Amino acid sequence: MNVADFAIADAALRGFRLVREQPRLLLALILFGVLVAAPGATAIDFSLARALPANFSLGAALQPRDPRQVADLATRLAPLWALTVAYDFLIFAIVASAVNRAVLRPADSAFGYLRLGADELRQLIVIVALFLVTLGVYIACLIPAFVVISAVTALARLSGAAPSAALLVAALLACLAVMIGVSLRLSLASPATFAAGRVIVARSWAMTGGRGWRILGTYALAAGLVVVVYFLGSSIILGLTAALGGGPDGARDLAGPPQTGGLAALVTPARGLYLVLSGVLSALIWPVAFAPAAAIFESLSRQAPSGWRQ
């Protein structure tokens, strides 16, 4: 490992170090998760559930008899879906800023590193831009892939052979690999933007060059840790809420919006406990998920070439 590189395990575990070394960050994230993130997500889910027709079935919706019903449903749900995406992006921007601040400016600990200002706005812009870029890359890859698949399928039919589904699967996987590769190259845009005080993507592309496998290994290890924390936390949450009342089936129902009872169903003791515990679980997961990119950027920036500081 050269002096301008990073340790995979150290970067992947940086979130756990933050939780241990920066209790202000953890407390702020817990309050944010309990008071803002979890209630907001629940309210949006509740609105989505109420916008769906009675006895809605996803399987039936995917095989509609009347295209007009699908168009009407999509028109009704589009604003709520857009609100869901916008809300998630805003939550991610606030949390990413807090984690970047804790890693890159540990002395700036006012309000538990959690703010709402110019840094958060720049993070929101970066998150939206990266989403659009990666989605665009995937679509741009699919277009020529489907052209080739259509041509091969046509030739196969002319020769009497059956079209191969494996070709479609291979094309989808290839485009997914391209999208992941681009995402890895741009994954340091968030901490780079935070450090520069302006939206910047090119620095991430320069810094990640030749380090794709190391970065992929770091994120894969961090993702595995997130899965472990999530399943352990979810098991505890389900156990506690089941013990409060409703049993296992009632506890699982709390994970979704209430089907009956209106707004009153949102303020039951079991659902209140579930929301609090879900907020705490999110606060434990966020540092583990967001800190690796900031840790990689911090390590690579220590002896960054002049081109990286543009």
C-alpha 287/C-alpha 16 separation (Å) is 7
pLDDT of residue 249: 56
Least confident residue range of 146-150, 176-180, 227-231: 146-150
CB 133 within 8 A of CB 182: yes
Label residue 240 by pLDDT band (50, 70, 90): confident
pLDDT of residue 196: 92
Average pLDDT of the chain is 82
